[in-house]
């Protein structure tokens, strides 16, 4: 016995629904689970890895596809791929309470892992464990935001934790080789971006070994290229200036 299925219906399973209301109507797209966050954070760039189909629905669970005239009225186009991108970026992800809880737990752990990887106790130069960072995040009642990337949130967490504990981003160790004539002038411009100058050696070139905040690296690199016109060099000696062993709370 054959079962009649209307032509405007598409059945999908194992789906994450993203919903948007526009022009008084509801529009939905069907995505693969766990892919929406990846797309929004920039990790996933292949749309076909995110969308189950490039169709726009009024109701995914019932398989009801949106009408062409409704799409034009709401979005000014009937290009379904472009509309899918808009909904994917700005729409609201529909998830069950259990799924949301699992997602938040995973993001919380990922944020703590990034913080532990990037930071140290500035007094001992030792890194903190992920478990210790998780505990500290719970102590400050940090609330995970599903619409922000874990990297963005890790930077927010570092700022908040600084108010409660000894923590800062691990410094990078750099070596500058500068032409002596321009070197002294450039050193003055670099000073505000340098945390600690460990050594200076005036020979045929000015050699400086120093520690910087990783957030300043791009600015330093651009300043070097601009001021030395390719005559100076910049070398990363250590990405993270850390001591062996994990930091512990007494």
Q: What is the pLDDT of residues 116-145, one digit of tens each?
A: 999 999 888 889 999 999 999 999 999 999
Angle among Cα 171, 172, 174 to the nearest 5 degrees reads: 140
The domain 170-236 is placed in CATH, from the list 3.60.21.10, 3.40.1390.10, 3.40.50.1970, 3.30.70.240, at 3.30.70.240
Q: Which residues, at least 6 apart from 105, have a Cβ–Cβ distance to it below 8 Å?
A: none
Query: Each residue of 193-247: pLDDT tens digit?
Result: 888 889 888 888 888 899 988 888 889 888 888 888 878 888 888 777 666 555 5
Fold of 14-92: 3.30.1250
The domain 95-166 is placed in CATH, from the list 1.20.1250.30, 1.10.443.10, 3.40.50.620, 1.10.10.900, at 1.10.10.900
Question: What's the predicted TM-score (pTM) here?
Answer: 0.58
Rounded to whole angstroms, the Cα distance separating 33 from 83 reads: 19
């Amino acid at each position: 016995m054959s079962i009649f299925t209307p032509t405007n219906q598409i059945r999908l399973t194992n789906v994450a629904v993203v919903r948007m209301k526009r022009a008084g109507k509801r529009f939905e797209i069907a995505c693969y689970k766990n892919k929406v966050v990846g797309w929004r954070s920039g990790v996933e760039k292949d749309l076909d890895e995110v969308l189950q189909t490039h169709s726009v629905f009024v109701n995914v669970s019932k398989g009801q596809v949106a009408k062409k005239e409704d799409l034009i009225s709401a979005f000014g186009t009937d290009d379904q791929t472009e509309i899918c991108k808009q909904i994917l970026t700005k729409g609201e992800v529909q998830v069950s309470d259990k799924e949301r809880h699992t997602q938040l737990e995973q993001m919380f752990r990922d944020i703590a892992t990034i913080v532990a990887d990037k930071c140290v106790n500035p007094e001992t130069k030792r890194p903190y464990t992920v478990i210790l960072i998780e505990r500290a995040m719970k102590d400050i009642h940090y609330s995970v935001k599903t619409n922000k990337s874990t990297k963005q949130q890790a930077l927010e967490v570092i700022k908040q934790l600084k108010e409660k504990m000894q923590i800062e981003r691990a410094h990078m160790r750099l070596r500058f080789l500068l032409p002596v004539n321009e070197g002294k002038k450039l050193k003055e411009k670099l000073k505000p971006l340098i945390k600690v100058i460990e050594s200076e050696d005036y020979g045929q070139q000015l050699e400086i070994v120093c520690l910087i905040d990783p957030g300043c690296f791009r600015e330093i690199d651009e300043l070097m290229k601009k001021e030395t016109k390719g005559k100076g060099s910049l070398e990363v000696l250590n990405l993270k200036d850390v001591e062996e062993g994990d930091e512990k709370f007494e």
